[in-house]
A and B are shown apart, each in its own frame.
Chain A
Amino acid sequence: MEFKDTQAIYVQIADYICEQILLTKWQPEERIPSVRELAVSLEVNPNTVMRTCELLQQQEIIQNKRGIGYFISGDAVKKIKQFKKEAFIKNELPSFFRSMYLLDLDLDELKPHFEKFKKSNFN
């Protein structure tokens, strides 16, 4: 995994785990790799992975079963999407809206573009 310079590593690892879940590589109710396994494969300090797990546990995306490990919550996908949506609206939408405003673009005008995009990428 390539880490970017922009975000704390533990956050990037959280994104990586969420991506595995959204891509259904890791399924709800399944156990995720142990802290040590993740640390070795990502070549990072196990304490960093531990911090990631605490974050994801706090967001109720994973659950700690004592002595066995971390398991993906049944509604993890819903939870992740909710968090991602909030982050998108907070972080990316303002600059998007700014461009729209500067270019006099209307939301309705974008609709066909969005439909076309969905068709060509996710069908």
Chain B
Amino acid sequence: MINIQSLTFSYRKNKPLFENLQLRLEAGHIYGLLGKNGAGKSTLLKQIAGLLFPDSGICEVLGYPSAKRQPAFLREIFLVPEEFYLPKVSVKRYVNIYAPFYPNFDEAAFYNYLKEFEIPRDQQLTEMSYGQKKKVLISFALATNTKALIMDEPTNGLDIPSKSQFRKVIAAAVSNDKCIVISTHQVRDLDNLIDSIVIIDGHKIIFREDVQTVTDKLSFKTVSRIEETTGILFADSNVRGHTIITRNAGHEQSKIDMELLFNAVLTNHKPIQEIFN
């Protein structure tokens, strides 16, 4: 679905953000794109969406080079950016203007999503709060039914009840022919939705595994005494005890702790990568 090969890109000369970056994403999954501030998450999403062009290398979606922005590509991709602009029109007018660009747009679904998010249908978009606007955009994005759906920090600015609503609408939107990519810092908002983890750091993708493989190979647990445990790959200590990652020796699967995994991959990359190779 999304195919990136040897992607090199820099905003400024001699300061490359991506160097020889490789990434393949398939349909039927929800990918969580994780990375530190400034690692290039948003830039990568913009490359996929055709809003930034590679200096060299390939970035294509459904076989279409993103940078060419062909209509057949544009109708199958939707990006929910972190910062966005909505025109001063009503929700209905917005749909009338923008929905025709998406042949698979489902108007009934759109209004269902708005209802789920408790957004009034007859309001001007510019009179809405940031969170409300974001919900309109997310609803629209889901209703377009594009094969690739890309969201940059979608839960930012959403209040507590709407995070649960967000999870419900995303769970309903997954299908075998869709590829959903979500970049996030709020992993805990989404950790039961994301089924594959992509970590970007130091100009490259340094980790890309599905959750099932991760829990097959690694074990996540909390122990009270760290001295008694051997083979610790990473540990994070707090008042409740130590949350640790070890190699999964048995067949039992623990619940993945994505924050812990992220920190582990960033600080102790080599031994973890060896387990997955």
Which residues of A does B touch, CB under 8 Å? 3-12, 36, 39-48, 51
A46 touches B255 (CB 8 A): no
B255 touches A45 (CB 8 A): no
**Closest beta carbon of chain B to A52's beta carbon, Å:** 12
> Which of B172, B192, B254 has the largest count of A CB atoms less than 10 A from its CB?
B192
Given A9-B255, A43-B192, A47-B174, 7 other A-B contacts at CB below 8 A?
A: A5-B255, A5-B257, A40-B171, A41-B168, A44-B193, A45-B171, A45-B192
Instruction: Indicate whether B215 reaches chain A with its CB closer than 8 angstroms.
Output: yes
- Name 25 A/B residue pairs within 8 A (Cβ), A-sorted: A3-B192, A3-B255, A4-B255, A5-B257, A6-B221, A8-B215, A9-B192, A36-B172, A39-B172, A40-B171, A43-B167, A43-B171, A43-B192, A43-B193, A44-B167, A44-B192, A45-B30, A45-B192, A45-B193, A45-B195, A46-B171, A47-B28, A47-B174, A48-B192, A48-B195
Q: What DSSP secondary structure best describes chain A's contact surface? A: helix
B172 touches A40 (CB 8 A): yes
Residues of B within 8 A of A45 (CB): 30, 171, 174, 192-195
**Closest beta carbon of chain B to A94's beta carbon, Å:** 16
Q: Which 6 A-B pairs have the closest CB atoms?
A: A43-B167, A8-B253, A39-B171, A44-B192, A40-B171, A45-B195
Which residues of B does A touch, CB under 8 Å? 28-30, 164, 167-168, 171-172, 174, 192-195, 212, 215, 221-222, 253-255, 257
> Which of A7, A8, A48 has the largest count of B CB atoms less than 10 A from its CB?
A8
B174 touches A39 (CB 8 A): yes
Q: Can you name the residue of chain A whose Cβ is closest to the Cβ of B175?
A: A46
Residues of B within 8 A of A43 (CB): 164, 167-168, 171, 192-193
> Which of A36, A42, A45 has the largest count of B CB atoms less than 10 A from its CB?
A45
Residues of B within 8 A of A51 (CB): 212
Number of residue pairs spanning A and B whose beta carbons lie under 8 angstroms apart: 58
Residues of B within 8 A of A5 (CB): 222, 255, 257
Residues of B within 8 A of A48 (CB): 192, 195
> Which of A4, A7, A9, A46 has the largest count of B CB atoms less than 10 A from its CB?
A46
**Closest beta carbon of chain A to B135's beta carbon, Å:** 16
Residues of B within 8 A of A42 (CB): 171, 192
Of B171, B212, B215, the residue contacting A44 (CB under 8 A) is B171
Of B171, B174, B195, B254, the residue contacting A6 (CB under 8 A) is B254
Q: Can you name the residue of chain A whose Cβ is closest to the Cβ of B29?
A: A47
> Which of A4, A41, A44 has the largest count of B CB atoms less than 10 A from its CB?
A44
Residues of A within 8 A of B171 (CB): 36, 39-40, 42-46
Residues of A within 8 A of B253 (CB): 7-8, 10-11
Residues of B within 8 A of A4 (CB): 255
